[in-house]
Structure 1
């Protein structure tokens, strides 16, 4: 069975499967999560499913939330392989598009060697869905004495590092230590809202009040509640910073 929303890709995959073995019967080709669930609920389990990740009405992982999938899966995807390494841990194979004949042959050979279906853990789904859905962190919990404060990213005008510590600075200009490195924060938050202007500062677009030309082709920025001399856009980041402002 093939679950693939791009007609051309499905036709190409069918031809490659036929080239591998003309005796293989393709039961059906499905384009959406909804129709895949209906098909699986009303038909016998296929021996093997080729499943694209991005379908016409959502991610194919949603199929597993709506029905029991007993068949072994070979995922097909255009997403970067590093986002999918967790599948290797669970012995789930995948083919990175554009698919080559030799890669398909190896995947089907692997299925023949061990065609028992593998259970995918909830942690794997969480990891992959986070990577594919690009769900950015929206809140930070910070301990202040015996109290816990919650800041949304909209409450933050910048994150910065100083003397091996990382700080969150809110829109009122108050600083709080935070248990993340600046590199970690940069990977967690929406890049449309924050920009790493230099090694020490990650600033919010909404907090920028002024931008001034500075020496050596750099820029100095003022935030609504912070006019620190350290808020300098490094020379190598100036062009990217200007593009970010326009995006």
Structure 2
């Protein structure tokens, strides 16, 4: 059995390979291919694999471009960080998908679908792209939180920023109150409007109104002073600085 992995994030590709090797020890894996062009070149010069795992966002573009250039007959399982609304695109086409970070149980279910021939070998790229770009996407507007013995609803407009600390995730309000949440920052990043909240590093997801001051910092990074934050060293990761500036400059 030959499996092709198209994935531009090396840690994600390595995790996928480990999970597959544990479940399909006899399989021969190819890749990971990290660009649209390298994937097209490989598919044009090699026999078709039995199964393809394909990320959507690659180093040089969107993987859908591969399907526009190559007539692929192999079953495809997409790996994606898109939220549940966008996933409707894949359900419509009856191809399979896995949300990142990959869950072992979800991978097992996808492989079962593959073994039972329930995954189509034709992909309607036009329809998938249309649904993924749908303007009617709805972002989270409220959070149900527990405060002492009370349960209350917090409107997302009350949130100044979200942060992780000691394996817990907190919502900090503009009024200076904080509430613990069940979600992690990765989930919140997909649920919240990207125009209103930006992930500056592994620990913080912030709104523009939460920023009190911004300073230049070492190694081309930025240092931020957040309202109602006790953390004096809130640093924008170097690889996120350019996107952060663009986000603020809208």
Q: TM-score, normalised by structure 1?
A: 0.51
Separation (CA, whole Å) in 1 of partners of 2:34 and 2:45: 16
2:123 paired with 1:120:
yes
Relative to structure 1, the CA distance from residue 128 to residue 19 in structure 2 (aligned partners, 3 Å threshold; closer, same or farther) is: same
Q: Cα deviations across residues 82-121 of structure 1 (Å, max 9, x unaligned)?
A: 1121211221000000111111011011001006643223
**Which residue number corresponds to residue 41 of structure 2?**
38
Separation (CA, whole Å) in 2 of partners of 1:55 and 1:130: 17
Q: Cα deviations across residues 150-171 of structure 1 (Å, max 9, x unaligned)?
A: xxxxxxxxxxxxxxxxxxxxxx
Relative to structure 1, the CA distance from residue 59 to residue 131 in structure 2 (aligned partners, 3 Å threshold; closer, same or farther) is: farther
Separation (CA, whole Å) in 2 of partners of 1:245 and 1:33: 31
Separation (CA, whole Å) in 1 of partners of 2:127 and 2:83: 16
2:75 paired with 1:72:
yes
Unaligned 5+ segments in structure 2 are 138-194, 197-246
How far has the Cα of 1:8 moved from its partner? Answer: 0.7
2:119 paired with 1:92:
no
Count, aligned residues: 140
**Which residue number corresponds to residue 103 of structure 1?**
106
Separation (CA, whole Å) in 2 of partners of 1:125 and 1:116: 15
Relative to structure 1, the CA distance from residue 131 to residue 7 in structure 2 (aligned partners, 3 Å threshold; closer, same or farther) is: farther
Report SS of the residue matched to 1:27. Answer: strand
Report SS of the residue matched to 1:63. Answer: helix
How far has the Cα of 1:27 moved from its partner? Answer: 2.4
Separation (CA, whole Å) in 1 of partners of 2:57 and 2:73: 20
Report SS of the residue matched to 2:133. Answer: helix
Q: Is the 8 A contact 1:91 1:118 kept in 2?
A: no
Relative to structure 1, the CA distance from residue 245 to residue 15 in structure 2 (aligned partners, 3 Å threshold; closer, same or farther) is: closer
Q: Is the 8 A contact 1:72 1:115 kept in 2?
A: no
How far has the Cα of 1:29 moved from its partner? Answer: 1.5
Q: TM-score, normalised by structure 2?
A: 0.51
Relative to structure 1, the CA distance from residue 245 to residue 11 in structure 2 (aligned partners, 3 Å threshold; closer, same or farther) is: closer
Q: Which has the larger radius of gyration?
A: 1
**Which residue number corresponds to residue 60 of structure 1?**
63
Separation (CA, whole Å) in 2 of partners of 1:245 and 1:76: 30
Separation (CA, whole Å) in 1 of partners of 2:106 and 2:76: 15
Q: Is the 8 A contact 1:2 1:30 kept in 2?
A: yes
